[in-house]
Amino acid sequence: MGLALAIAARQRGLTVVVADALQPAIDKACGEGLLPDAVEALRILGVSLESDEARPFRGIRFVCGDNSTAADFPGGHFGLGVRRTILHRALARRCEDLDIECLWGQPVLGVCGNEVSLKDGKFRAQWIVGADGAHSRMRQWAGLDNPRARGGRYAFRQHYEIAPWTDYVEVYWSSTGQVYLTPVGDNEVGVVLISRNQQFRVQDALRWFPQLAARLGSARVISRERGATTGMRRLRHLSSGHIALVGDASGSVDAITGEGLGLGFRQATLLADCLVRNDMASYQINHERLSRRPRFMSRMLLMLDGRPSLQRRTLLAFQRRPQVFERMLALHVGATVASFARDTLAIGWSLLAT
């Protein structure tokens, strides 16, 4: 999220320096599906992706056993499947356009007051922002490292060389966890496994998801498997002195929502506004507001985790009432759904009747 914040801050007239221990293009374990609200957040940042850099998808499909159901995003909007490395290059290009100084290969070694120590020197800044992920060292240095964590799951991602057979992101459910399939190119799909078993890997998991295994067939694996932990993390405080946090460093929702990138982009825009006003109290309040919906959706989806009977009944209920799945997806991507409470009661009754 460091590049997104740098762009948002520069758009507001601030002078920005980005320091990163790695060299572009940086890859991370990520589902690589940008929901429509994330696509809109990128547009606001002025970040563009060429047509050959991303693949649109129209909605979400749930698959459980032999049953499946799909819903389109509201208003004809599309999400984008994009490799994390390509997204990083696009963000870096935008930084270059805005004359943002990026110090690649420069790990941050520590902070003292408003001074930052790098591998090759030091510099002073009015604000120092930690955008260094769920295991943030900046958070530790600022004395903010008291996350209230919920759950503990493991996500692993790999890419396969095969033409996508769908224009949906597909979510496969089983007793062992979930597998997300995202079309990310004309001849490439990303597969993400999320489970509570730290030893479980994507190739191992396919035997639990026979429909997906049949689809992939003998497709060639074309990327190294990457993994990360995921869960619900919430911080009491997001800033201290000259230091503020953004993205996963500032708390997170479980990867089951697919909201990580979009939420981080919105946090970056919010923090940039608050830095201009020197108003961290507003950042704390509105950061909580931004996280409320993704946390709610995460809790709802996690109710299905490890419960194959409930997964099957939920899917059957969605098949009987497809409008409920559509409205839940609309709520998930930030659309206002006035009838959600009524639909929740309807889906609950359908589950009892199934």
Is the model more confident about 294 or about 145?
294
| C-alpha triplet 181, 185, 187: angle, nearest 5° | 90
The pLDDT of residue 213 is above 50 = yes
Angle between helix axes 280-302 and 260-277 (nearest 10 degrees) is: 170
Instruction: Give the residue from 3, 243, 245 showing the smallest Cα distance to 100.
Output: 3
Give burial (CB, 10 Å; 0-12/13-18/19+) of 76: exposed
Strand partners, 191: 158, 181
The answer to whether the CB of 245 falls within 8 A of the CB of 239 is yes
Q: Judge whether 185 and 83 are in contact, CB under 8 Å.
A: yes
Tens-place pLDDT, residues 308-353: 999 999 999 899 888 888 988 888 887 765 555 555 555 554 544 5
199 burial via Cβ count (<10 Å: 0-12, 13-18, 19+) = exposed
C-beta neighbour count of 242 within 10 angstroms: 18
Mean pLDDT value across residues 288-312: 91
Per-residue pLDDT tens digits for 32-65: 999 999 999 999 999 999 888 999 999 999 999 8
* Average pLDDT in the chain: 90
Query: Per-residue pLDDT averaged across 263-288, rounded?
Result: 96
Indicate whether this model's pTM tops 0.75: yes
Q: All domains of the chain, ordered by start, with CATH?
A: 2-32+83-147+235-302 (3.50.50.60), 151-229 (3.30.9.10), 308-353 (no CATH)
Element (H, E) at 329: helix 322-332
The torsion angle over the Cα atoms of residues 222, 224, 225 and 227, rounded to 10 degrees, is: -140
